[in-house]
A and B are shown apart, each in its own frame.
Chain A
Amino acid sequence: MLMREKKVKMLAETRGDKIFDIFINVIMGFILLIYIYPLIFIISASVSDPNTVLRGEMWLFPKGFTLMGYKHILQYKEIWTGYLNTIKIVLLGVPIAMSLTISAGYVLSRKEFKLRNLYMGIFVFTMFFNGGLIPTYLVIKQLNMLDTIWALILPNAITMYYVIIVRTYYNTNIPEELHEAGVIDGCSDIRFLTSVALPLAKPITAVMALFYMVDRWNMYFRPLIYLSDRKLYPLQLILREIVASSNMTPEMLEGFEPSEYAIMVQISNLMKYGVLIVASLPVLLIYPFVQKYFVQGIMIGALKG
């Protein structure tokens, strides 16, 4: 077969194709650039003298190295409460979301579950139509969940898209023979889930956990509308304030002498870069290791579901 492949490869290389290949590689190089460059820029900017950045002198590597930005970020308390709150949201919210999603996905994948289509219909309908912003807000209010962490993790606990992915996975990866064998041995439905199906579904469980973690970590709008107590603000909310602000908040001025106020504006720019890095750091660090799981997850769900 190798000879034939070699022959085919030789036939394949027409002149047009060679140009095509070069073209593709150049484009891919350009794409690499537009993704990597902003990251490098921001990292460098976060440790550079703000004036060099403003004047455009700094464009790749840091100029006028300074750690002032990060120093002030470390001192800025609200960032750290924000971090803490976000971590709380993830630790609390992800297990809840996971248990609901997996149980639903599992049950929906079982052929013995006669009302499958009915439940699917009820669930999927919500993907396209729901009460709307105000009515949902009113429900949350009536449940006394306003200004609590629950408003952030309960209403959106289940993403139907993920349930479908889980269901598809169980459908295609748990052979029916396994279940039949279990039934003969007197295995109950729940027992089957915990002892057989779940262990077999470790990959998809990991993927779901990652997806939900990212969703919870990046949450912005929900906290915006449901929280008014600043102590509960998650990271993204604080981040937004810093990045979008042209004014200083009192908290930012902590630890500064009045004579330093002029420098403050510069520092605030410096902080903007640093804070972007600080907020995205966990995600960016973990990402290279787990990205292949994300890819698997989508492929499973989207192709078959």
Chain B
Amino acid sequence: MNVRKTEQKTSAYSKVLSKGKKSYIGEVGRNIIEHWQLYLLITPTLIFFIVFNYLPMYGVQLAFKEFIHIKGIMGSPWVGLRNFERFFSGYNAWALIKNTLGISFYQILAGFPIPIIFALMLNEVLNKHYKKLVQLVSYAPHFISIVVVVGMLDIFFSQSNGFVNIILTKVFGLEKGIPFLVSNSWFKTMYVFSGVWQNAGYSAIIYIAALSGVDPQLVDSAIVDGASKIRRIWHIQIPTILPTAVILLILESGNIMKVGFEKVLLMQNPLNMQSSDIISTYVYRMGLLGSDFSFATAVDLFNSVVSCILLVFVNNFAKRVSSNSLW
């Protein structure tokens, strides 16, 4: 079967277009006419992306303006980098950046390897039913809402009557119980590990799938050669999932600056603000609650740009170190 069939379907219009030059525009034009239904099908989606993703980009110029409500975006005066200056000279700029980066790196450091390790271990479980049970149970938390997860945190880790603290004081004889939820030093840990609890099982699915692609003959010959399980894991399983892991790492690093904003917002309170306030929550507070539109847009823009740069950086780094990358 070859290409002739498409030529049988060309209409009169496209025949006219195809006469003479084989320009790209001509080709595209022909394509649109010939497969107009496809173009029609995808147009609503295109419109959506334009309206809700690209149109707002027009509003990004607010970052360089001083928004005056009555005059609208167009009428507001340009102020150059003043919003950015204001941000960086503010008393908390450094703290915000530190928190954002700190939480992100911590999250990647702890949150990235754990699903991998979990998948590797799960793969070695011999009893099929046990394996399935653990899988099922570990995926579940991913689907409960973030409000519920933070609610559970409140219940279990409350200093006065949270179950964890009850055990710590009654069983281990601790004096007062640890202020998990309101102390600055505990915030990052609580944030990251509740995230691990919720998502590790789900993230592991990809690795488990990749591991199922391991060649059993390879494993068998390794066994015959006398390799212990741990050596087998190190030499067979890990290289198999390495490509997947690298790509996922890149994707995650693209989100560095956008640290799970909803969850931070939910976990924030006046007592841990010092370590829990990140750039995105600051933008939310200043922009939506405080109505300081142009300032918030500027900070948000800064956030996005740094994210982009980090993403490109990590991608290129991955390209050099391994042969996998996003582009």
Contacts and interface: CB of A to CB of B under 8 A. Distances in A.
B246 interface: no
B125 A107 contact: no
A53 B42 contact: no
B209 A123 contact: no
Chain A interface size, as a band, is 35 or more
Given A56-B166, A104-B42, A137-B288, A32 B134 contact: yes
A61 interface: no
A240 B139 CA distance: 23
B304 to A, nearest CB: 6
Nearest to A299: B209
Contacts of A112: 6, 31, 34-35, 38
Contact of A134 (B201, B224, B228, B300): B300
A32 B137 contact: yes
Contact of B147 (A45, A239, A283, A288): A239
Nearest to A21: B126
Contacts of A56: 161, 163, 166-167, 170
A189 B287 contact: no
Contact of B52 (A132, A139, A236): A139
A128 B297 contact: no
A4 to B, nearest CB: 8
B205 A132 contact: no
Given A221-B262, A273-B155, A133 B284 contact: yes
A302 B265 CA distance: 29
Interface string B122-154: 101110001101101111110111111011101
Given A54-B161, A276-B151, A131 B38 contact: no
A11 B134 contact: no
A155 B146 CA distance: 20
A8 B209 contact: no
Q: What are the 6 A-B residue pairs with the smallest beta carbon separation, nearest first?
A: A131-B56, A135-B59, A218-B145, A56-B166, A135-B56, A243-B151
Interface in B162-193: 163, 166-167, 170
B48 A272 contact: no
Contacts of B124: 20-21, 24
B38 A107 contact: yes
A122 B49 contact: yes
Contacts of B147: 218, 220, 236, 239-240, 243, 279
A137 B54 CA distance: 13
A287 B126 CA distance: 25
B134 A220 contact: no
B45 A100 contact: yes
Nearest to A217: B145
Contact of A128 (B34, B293, B311): B311
A134 B143 contact: no
Interface string B205-241: 1100110000000001001101011100000000000
Given A134-B293, A139-B59, A28 B122 contact: yes
Interface of B is mostly: helix
Given A110-B38, A218-B146, A131 B49 contact: no
B116 to A, nearest CB: 14
B21 interface: no
A131 B53 contact: yes
23 contacts: A11-B224, A56-B163, A99-B44, A103-B44, A104-B45, A112-B35, A119-B42, A126-B53, A132-B300, A133-B284, A134-B59, A135-B62, A138-B59, A154-B52, A190-B37, A220-B266, A239-B148, A239-B151, A244-B154, A276-B155, A291-B140, A303-B206, A303-B210
A299 B205 contact: yes
Interface string A9-27: 0011010110011001101
B279 to A, nearest CB: 11
Contact of A133 (B9, B150, B202, B283): B283
A134 B133 contact: no
A130 interface: yes
Interface residues of B, number: 99
A200 B44 CA distance: 23
A31 interface: yes
A202 interface: no
B246 to A, nearest CB: 13
Nearest to A303: B209
B197 interface: yes
B230 to A, nearest CB: 6
A157 interface: yes
A270 B91 CA distance: 42
Nearest to A9: B223
Contacts of B321: none
B53 A214 contact: no
A34 B138 CA distance: 9
Interface string A267-291: 0000011001001100110011001
Contact of A158 (B45, B130, B206, B304): B45
Contacts of B201: 35
A180 interface: yes
